[in-house]
Amino acid sequence: MDLDLLVNGSMDALLLILAARLSNLPFRGKRIAAGVIAGEIPVILSAYVPASLLFDLSKYFIPWLMVWLAYPYRGFRLYFKTLLIFWVLSAGLGGLVYALWGWISFDGRIGGSLRIGLKNLWILPLVAGLWWFTQKAWHQILGSAARQQSFIYDLEIDMGKGNSFRVKALLDTGNQLRDPLTGYPVILVEEEAAVAGMPEELLPVLQGAWRDLDDPWPWLWQSDSLWIKQCAFIPYQGVGHRSWLLGIRPQRVVCTSLPEPKEMKATLAFVQQVLSPDRAYQALLHSEHVRGAEES
């Protein structure tokens, strides 16, 4: 049983690390260990209660628990994506082991004799080709992730009165939006990521009636004086229509991931959709911020 636990745990650790790499997820030893320990439950049950409903159910539900324990998540979409990758890797590794087991015959001595029939030799170039394509795709994925990561910056946004929040922002050269009153470049921010750091007096404007108006400026001018001072509406051109984004001027925006922290002049514009499906970033910087960051 100890050998079964060792082999099963080693393979589970390998699968969890590979799944993290493919999902671009950070992984920590304690979380991976927790996932591996959860994966040992079917092995223990197979030794004591092999013919039981509990053992049968564990084989199907334990992978869900393993993947849940192994990584930090910010949404179920990323969890299910990682779970799918884990299943695909498990099936692929299982198929490879099953094929090798059919080719290798152990005769009780140290090592074994390799038996590959002539009729099966075609599988070798096929495996080599699949391995080459897999490695090529893997390096492209890593290169793409590395390039994206090099353009993601940490922002600390001070909204005033002791309210602040942090986001990761992607440099987006396609973002050309500006505050119509101050001329400041606009940073697009996910509304959900900013709500916790917003002053209470500004929270009602997020769900204001301006969303249903063709021109929201008159609504703002008739509202609270604080809203008039800190808020603006950013016009943007959508697909076949023109609309508005709510803009709020923060007290300070500081990019903390540069060698020296850099303060940026910016107006925040809030969007309700998720900007990054894998939660790699929650904001988009203006092209002017791009140039400023590159110069730094």
Report pLDDT for 88: 80
For residue 26, report the phi and psi dihedrals to the nearest 5 degrees. Answer: -70, 145
The larger pLDDT score, comparing residue 155 to residue 144, is at 155
- What is the residue whose two structure tokens read 């053992």? 55
Instruction: Report the sign of the C-alpha dihedral through residues 73, 75, 80, 82, in that order.
Output: negative
60 with 37, same domain: the answer is yes
Are residues 173 and 238 part of one domain?
Answer: yes
Domain that holds residue 210: 151-292
Main-chain phi, psi angles of 141, to 5 degrees: -65, -45
Same domain, 114 and 183: no
pLDDT of residue 279: 80
Res. 80: pLDDT tops 70: yes
Calculate the average pLDDT of the chain: 76
pLDDT interval class at 14 (50, 70, 90): confident
| β-pairing verdict for 283-285 and 163-171 | parallel
Are residues 133 and 175 both part of a single domain? no
pLDDT of 113: 43
Check 12, 158, 172, 212 and give the catalytic one.
172
How far is residue 282's CA from residue 169's CA, in Å, rounded to a whole number?
6
For residue 47, is pLDDT > 70?
yes
Least confident of 23-27, 60-64, 70-74, 84-88: 23-27
Q: Is the dihedral of CA 65, 66, 72, 74 positive or negative?
A: negative
The answer to whether residues 287 and 176 belong to one domain is: yes
Q: Of the residues 113, 145, 177, which one is the last residue of a structural domain?
A: 145
Q: Would you place residue 112 in the very low, low, confident or very high pLDDT band (cuts 50, 70, 90)?
A: very low
- What was the pLDDT predicted at 76? 77
* Number of domains making up the chain: 2
Same domain? 94 vs 215? no
Could you report the per-residue pLDDT of 176-224, keeping only the tens digit for each? 889 988 889 999 999 888 888 888 888 888 877 788 788 888 888 888 7
Q: Report pLDDT digits (tens) over 219-242.
A: 888 887 778 888 889 888 766 667
Last residue of a domain, one of 106, 127, 145: 145
Looking at residue 39, its pLDDT comes to 85
Q: Say which CATH number the domain at 218 has.
A: 2.40.70
% of the chain residues with pLDDT over 70: 73
Tell me the C-alpha distance between 244 and 216, whole Å. Answer: 8
Q: Do residues 132 and 245 both lie within one domain?
A: no
Q: What's the average model confidence in pLDDT over 93-105?
A: 58
Shortest CA distance to 199 belongs to which of 249, 248, 230, 160?
Answer: 160
Of 80, 113, 145, the last residue of a domain is 145
The contacts of residue 101 (CB under 8 Å, 6+ apart) are none
> What ranges make up the beta strands (E) of the chain?
104-105, 113-114, 152-160, 163-171, 186-190, 231-238, 241-248, 252-255, 262-264, 267-271, 283-285
**Do 5 and 130 fall into the same domain?**
yes
Do 41 and 156 belong together in one domain? Answer: no
Mean pLDDT of 147-161: 77
pTM to 2 decimal places = 0.49
Q: How confident is the model at residue 274 (pLDDT cuts 50, 70, 90)?
A: confident
179 is catalytic: no
Q: What is the pLDDT of residue 218?
A: 87
pLDDT at 146: 46
